Amino acid sequence: MKIILHSPSSVSEITDIYKQAFSEAVRLYVVSAYLTEWDISLQLNDGCKKFRVIVGKDFGITKKSACLDLMKWLSAERKSQFMVADAIDGFHPKAIFWMDKSDNCFSLIGSSNLTKAAFHKNYEANIFSEISKDEFIKSEEWIKEIEDQSVVVSEDWLGEYQEAKPAPNKNSKHKYKGANVITLKLPNPSGSKRQVAKRRVQLTAHDNLKDSLKNLFLKCRDGNISSSEFYDLLPSVWSWDSGNRLQGSGWERQGKGSNFKEISTSFINILNAKPMDRDDIVVKEIDKLKAIKSSARRAFFSEILCLTFPDKYPVLNKPVKDYIKDIGFRAPKGASEGARYLDLAKKLRTSLAQNPKHPANNLAELDTVIWLAYGE
């Protein structure tokens, strides 16, 4: 353990620790009550598999310009990994946690926010220490609890966020306006309860078929059946006759020629992922399917994800896109397809958490309500 005491006359050791963390981490978490400046010279190593930056918005101290710098700094597939603790009042941690490729774990915890003053001008006290793997896992679980109450920082979020305005003269106190917490209003048209009841029947039907569907994906992944055989066998485990197909027809014409071995590999990778890492694996696999131009990656693949994880992942369809456009809360510009999908999933999860009395209890049920409101 090392105690790092900083004063305006000393050279900042915190900057070097951040550079060390970003250069060697395979799992890296940064949490800060405020963000007023992002160091664009930081370079995140290519081997970092898990990365999150979560900042607070209390009192409007976080700067929009700093958020924009960080958003530009992030690569397309990482655009959904910068979040704000939008549903948390009293978010005040100042810490980073990371694990390197040798499973060594470290933390830097103290008084320093992600501000220029904290790194250079202020009197700050921090503790840098190697920690046990168990302590790191505990930190990850704590971060996940925060993440579940956070939203992805996007241009639309920044448009709603109220940054604190400086006082008109230096003798006055700063006037802080609390940042708006974005409340996502869910559609609840007439007939919603009836539609949700029908969707629950479909989900129950899927529960009876999910093992058979998984086995079909495994056979295709392992090369025991071809893509065309997979396509021919699919209706036996996913269809309207089986009672577990959610969407209407359409994808079959373009999707028939898809590489279902790649689709199957991606689905099994997601299925086998640790719950803590599944969101990141979803982004990775969707981006991989996008790269090979798989036409089944949207309607079909997202529906399979929604059926398998109804609490976590939505179906990609026009009504859902129209809903997000209507509420004016889009993904960050330049985000990859996988990052946009995860951004959508997080928004819909948040919307349900904010509306506990809504007829829908999960994303699969919410899908049918959105269809009722926005479908043609």
pLDDT, tens digit (0-9, with 9 covering 90-100), for 132-166: 999 999 999 999 999 999 999 999 999 989 898 76
Strand boundaries in the chain, DSSP class E: 2-6, 25-32, 50-55, 82-84, 94-100, 105-110, 124-131, 151-152
pLDDT given at position 185:
83
pLDDT given at position 182:
66
Residue closest to 154 by CA, chosen among 375, 278, 370, 334: 334
pLDDT given at position 181:
57
pLDDT given at position 257:
82
Structure tokens that stand for 124 in this block = 């700050």
- Residue-wise pLDDT for 242-298, tens only, equals 999 998 877 777 778 889 999 999 999 999 999 999 999 999 999 999 999 998 888
CATH of domain 2-160: 3.30.870.10
pLDDT given at position 96:
95
Task: Answer for the pair 227, 255: CB distance below 8 angstroms, yes or no.
Answer: no
pLDDT given at position 120:
72
Domain(s) of CATH 3.30.870.10: residues in the chain: 2-160
| C-alpha–C-alpha distance, residues 96 and 32, integer Å | 9
Task: Answer for the pair 342, 292: CB distance below 8 angstroms, yes or no.
Answer: no
Ramachandran quadrant class, 58 (left: phi over 0; alpha: psi -120 to 50; beta: rest): beta
pLDDT given at position 329:
86
* DSSP state, residue 12: P
pLDDT given at position 304:
97
Structure tokens that stand for 90 in this block = 């009293």
Residues in CB range of 253: below 8 A, 6 or more apart:
none
What SS3 class is residue 110?
strand
Side chain identity, residue 47: G
Task: Answer for the pair 63, 161: CB distance below 8 angstroms, yes or no.
Answer: no
The sign one gets for the Cα dihedral 267, 341, 375, 296 is negative
Residue ranges, the chain, pLDDT below 70: 116-118, 166-182
Side chain identity, residue 79: K
Q: How far apart are the first and last CA of the chain?
A: 62
pLDDT given at position 166:
66
| C-alpha–C-alpha distance, residues 120 and 123, integer Å | 9
What SS3 class is residue 163?
coil
pLDDT given at position 265:
98
